[in-house]
Amino acid sequence: VQLQASGGGLVQAGGSLKLSCAASGRTISRDNMAWFRQAAGKEREFVAAIDPWNGSTRYADSVKGRFTMSRDNAKNTLYLQMVSLKPEDTAIYYCAGRNGRIVTSAMNRAESYSYWGQGTQVTVSS
């Protein structure tokens, strides 16, 4: 599977962006998918994940209530809608996936995912 993330850019604090992650190679409808981000000089951190079986989502506390993850299986694409952006949201955002289900407790761990997109830069100015 290849993942192509897009939609990043420069936005002012309080603004919105919608990231997309298009998959190719095969369908990802049954894969556990997630978004992570990595700010300059920091470790990669979990943002959001979606369960392929029941559609439930999990979010990092830092983005809860502001970010919404969704998927369109017909388009084989993931989305991350981000509103009320803050300067601390500045990072490279990566989509990731794993063929098969991941237990809920492990959905926020980068090592749970086996394939990754190239990332898209999000910069939020104050």
Question: Do the beta carbons of residue 6 and residue 117 sit within 8 Å?
Answer: no
- Pairing mode, strands 9-12 and 120-125: parallel
Q: What distances in angstroms separate CA 85 from CA 29, 44, 74, 118, one per listed residue? A: 29, 18, 29, 22
Q: What is the pLDDT of residue 15?
A: 98
Amino acid at residue number 6: S
pLDDT in tens, the chain (126 residues): 999 999 999 999 999 999 999 999 999 999 999 999 999 999 999 999 998 888 899 999 999 999 999 999 999 999 999 999 999 999 999 999 999 888 889 999 999 999 999 999 999 999
Point out which residues pair with 23 in neighbouring strands: 3
Question: Do the beta carbons of residue 108 and residue 98 sit within 8 Å?
Answer: no
Question: Do the beta carbons of residue 51 and residue 41 sit within 8 Å?
Answer: no
Amino acid at residue number 114: S
